[in-house]
Amino acid sequence: MPKITYVEWNGTRHEVEVPVGLTVMEGARDNNIPGIEADCGGACACSTCHVYVDPEWVDRLPAKEGMEEDMLDFAYEPDPARSRLTCQIKVTEDLDGLVVYMPEKQI
């Protein structure tokens, strides 16, 4: 099972196993990771599951689709290169070792 590391704004790290087929957001939700609120439940209708992807992983993830790009406009301090919505990242074996950083807050 792929291991994903979620890093809170304060630097606290949470390394958890997330089943293939779930999203990175569902992995955070199912493991009670603070900092990812996911108010819309994964429908890509808000930006409360926003993270900054570790630079080593940016080019290894599938490209953002239009709806995700649009919702990131509402995120707190989005980074054009590193910001992603975790509800839009499906977990695969290739994501073993992924590291994501939470913003200071979700809006």
In 3-state terms, what secondary structure has residue 99? strand
pTM (2 d.p.): 0.97
- Per-residue pLDDT of 72-98, as tens digits, reads 999 999 999 999 999 999 999 999 999
Q: What's the rounded Cα separation, in Å, for the pair 5 and 99?
A: 5
Query: Which amino acid is present at 87?
Result: C
pLDDT value for 56: 98
Burial 73-96, CB ≥16 within 10 A → b, else e: eebeebeeeebbbbbbbebeeebe
* Percent of the chain residues past pLDDT 90, beyond the cut: 100
Domains in the chain with CATH codes: 3-101 (3.10.20.30)
The span from the CA of 5 to the CA of 100, in Å, is 6
| pLDDT at residue number 93 | 98
